[in-house]
Structure 1
Amino acid sequence: MPLRRLDLRERIARLLRSDADLDSFAGDRFPEASGRFTDGMDRVRKTNILLDYADPGALAKQLRLLERSPKGAAQPAEDGPIKLLYLACNPTSTDQLALSREARRIEDRLRAGKPRRVNAIEIVPRWAVRRSELQRLLLEEEPHVLHFSGHGSGRARLLFEDDGGNIAPLEARALVSLIGRLKRRLQLVVLNACDTEPLVGALVKHVACAVGMRQAIGDEAAATFAETFYEALSFGEPIGAAFELARIALGMSPLREERTPVLRFKRGVDIDRRRLEK
């Protein structure tokens, strides 16, 4: 049975994790598609072009070959860097957010000055995440950090998507239970979405630290907070210090949303000493 478009998109995101990998893959195997890429084009648009102009059967075959090759297969988690699983959700009926730009800014910050990093962090983005995929992604990736970017609701829910791109809300109780079962190496959860403070308070029953938002937060403020926070963590700053540096960055900008992010932590965790660990 041929792979569906959604399945092809998921494999592209999993196997071609950097923009350079995506550009190289398309250029070598599907030049008609890559010829339509332009400088500054975001990853989502490039993926859509590849899906539109590449033969689905040929694309599925090349992705399977990449998956089976030692170079393309995911490396054992313990041998790799700290893994940041970035979940982007923007259902079609909600306000459209600049999520690909946020992910790119985080990736750019993590790439800059890489030889000096104390804790190398690898961002693993997943786009248009369906509620039904969350369990599989946690099992498959076993992240150290789980980051959600999208919409939250006033009833402590996260708004994922269904197969048609419509809203599929995830209730707080279900999320907390799932994290409790599948936390494994998970040390930090970041919910970069509006009104997620109640959720992070519940999540620290299971994980050391969690970051959420007291109220609505703008696209630019969310991206500024995330890129600064993860950059500081990658240089070995404790989670508490990285959080404060990200808030300072918001205070230094015209955005002035430094009071929106909140950090919660499990009882007994010293956030001034606690760092991300492999």
Structure 2
Amino acid sequence: MPEEPIRPKIKLLLVTAKPADGHSEIHVLEQHLGDVCPHSVDVLKIRALSCDDVVKAVQTNLPDIVHFYGECTSDGRLHFIDDQGQVADWCGKSFFLKRISAAVAEIKLVYINGKITAKEIGVSNGKIAAIVGMQKKADDDLSRRFVIPFYVALAFGNPLGPAFAKLWQALPEQDRKLILCFRLDLNPDQFFLREQLKTAQN
């Protein structure tokens, strides 16, 4: 039989760092991606109560995207909340990014529903290609509305920059709070999270 071209799936690690019900961003995201693009995205989900839990999952699964769903405070801390609503662990964003980036050769995208700045892309020594977050503070409703079509666009082969820009421009002006930061050597208009077509073996 002739060889058929295949495109490797995106590996998406959903880090659930706080209790999540059936209407949460993490649940809706997992369900929607499973329904819309099951052949484009491998969704991996962990319940994390510490930064160490995330590092182990990154080492084991080698994800393209790490999506952090937890509490991000105004002073830049990521909180890991247990099922009783108590803080089980916390760490700074820079510490978190350093730890997960040290675990692998590269992470293509990190998503944090909280304030990020351009300088935070530099803490990974070039191992994190891009980060998406908020310009000011966390916004659960906005994050939920944005991230689902954003990941779908990436799964269907759109480059990072145009996928982000198109959805950002479609938001009402008051909701344009998201920000994309990327490595200086990276051209986001030509950066794809799904690799080029490979050839399937018979």
* Alignment partner of 1:257 is 2:175: yes
Q: How high is the TM-score relative to the length of structure 2? A: 0.77
User: Which structure has the larger Rg?
Assistant: 1
CA contact (8 A) 2:14 2:43 kept: yes
* Aligned residue number for residue 224 of structure 1: 145
How many residue pairs get matched? 187
Gaps of 5+ in 1: 1-78, 92-96
The residue matched to 1:191 in structure 2 has which SS?
strand
Gaps of 5+ in 2: 1-6, 196-202
The residue matched to 2:133 in structure 1 has which SS?
strand
- Structure that is richer in helix per residue: 1
- Structure that is richer in strand per residue: 2
* Aligned residue number for residue 242 of structure 1: 163
Of 131, 144, 158, the residue aligned with 2:78 is: 158
Structure with greater contact order relative to length (CA < 8 Å, sep ≥ 6): 2
* Alignment partner of 1:269 is 2:192: no
Separation of aligned partners in 1, 2:188 and 2:54:
27
Identity of aligned residues (%): 25
Distance 1:207 1:269, change over 3 A: same
Structure 1 residue 242, shift from structure 2 partner? 1.4
* Aligned residue number for residue 42 of structure 2: 122
* Aligned residue number for residue 133 of structure 2: 212
* Aligned residue number for residue 197 of structure 1: 117
Separation of aligned partners in 2, 1:99 and 1:127:
15
* Aligned residue number for residue 26 of structure 2: 103
Q: How high is the TM-score relative to the length of structure 1? A: 0.58
* Aligned residue number for residue 55 of structure 1: none
Distance 1:98 1:195, change over 3 A: farther
Structure 1 residue 231, shift from structure 2 partner? 0.8
Separation of aligned partners in 2, 1:99 and 1:191:
20
